[in-house]
Structures are given as structure tokens and as C-alpha cells.
Amino acid sequence: MSEMSVKSDTPPFTQEIPVPAGIHVPPNALRLVRQVDGISPSFPTNPYRFAIPGHTPEDAQQFVCAMGATIRWTLQKGTDNTLKLKDTPKGRGRRPEFSFKLEYKCPRGGHLDRAPNSRKHHPSRKCGCLAKFVITHDIKTNTLRVVWSWNHNHDPYSYEDMKRCQTPENVDRWLNRT
């Protein structure tokens, strides 16, 4: 994988460069380019709320894959209300507002709680980052809604961060091709 560490105004990205026609190369040859040190996205509000196309868990998973192109987000919690919705509502009580919900957090979220007298002294990747995104399927409108807390307390696209965290899933798939 070739790394470009030139400071630029473009957002960070990971891209696979196609093989030119007529040239034979192994499947995992150095054709993946990962741009680092770009500008992080910023929006007028934090958290930023928007809707994405689709209405199924598969559509939500496609959005998660797109978000994971530069950061390997950690699945914090998943809630599935489809079984509750199948039964006819009986009695009082609040009905579910969403059929499913996926919560992902930054891989550097939380703090290391090292055991006393531990012999491990390596620096932790945890820095208490509060960046996360939540995808919910709203029942009333049949839409996928995203609430994205986008403000990291570290630079997620720096070379240092790239060394501390796991590589994105598409980079792992590319490296493990045979």
C-alpha cells in the first residue's frame, strides 16, 4: 500500500487503482492508495442529522461500509424491534419509534483502564473520543435517519492515528486477497 502524506484540502480517502489493460499483476499488488492528512469533514451543527436512501438493514449496512472507508468504526450497540412490531399491540404503553438501530463509535473512544501492577506500558489508542454515528429506521416515515457526532478530539486521518488503529475493512480485504 502506498501512503500519500502530503497535506491537502481534499478529504481523506481510500481508493483502489485499476490495473492497466494488458498488464498482469497479482491480485494484491500495490494498487491501493490511502490519502492521509486531509481535512476532516465539518458541518454547521454537531451532531449533524440527515436521511440516507433506503429503508432496509442492508441499506444501512451499505452506509456503514461507506463510512468505514477511512475509519474502522466500532459497533457499539444494535437494537432490533422487528419482533415487537410483528405482534399486534396490546394494552397501553409506548410503541417503538424505529424498527432497528445501529450505533457506531470512534475506535479511539473510551479510556484505557489498566490493571494495577500491569507490565504492559505501551501507549493506548483510547483517547476519550466522542465521535459516533447512529442509524435508525423511522417507522412513521419509512426512512433511514443518521445522527452523526462528527467532531473527533484527535486527528483521525493522521499518520500517527493510522499506526495506532486498525486499518479500515476494505484495506484488510485488499491485503488478504490471494
The average pLDDT across 145-161 equals 83
Q: Which amino acid is at 170?
A: N
The average pLDDT across 150-169 equals 79
The average pLDDT across 157-162 equals 77
- Tens digit of pLDDT for each residue in 29-77? 444 455 555 566 777 888 888 998 888 889 999 888 888 877 888 888 7
Helix (H, G, I), strand (E, B) or coil at 17: coil
pTM, full prediction: 0.67
Beta-bridge mates of residue 133: 104, 148
Q: Which residues contact 10 (CB under 8 A, 6 or more apart)?
A: 35, 38, 39
- Write down the number of H helices and E strands in the chain: 4, 8
Q: How far is the C-alpha of 29 from the C-alpha of 18, rounded, in Å?
A: 11
Cβ–Cβ under 8 Å, residues 146 and 134: yes
Q: Which cell goes with 106? A: 470512534
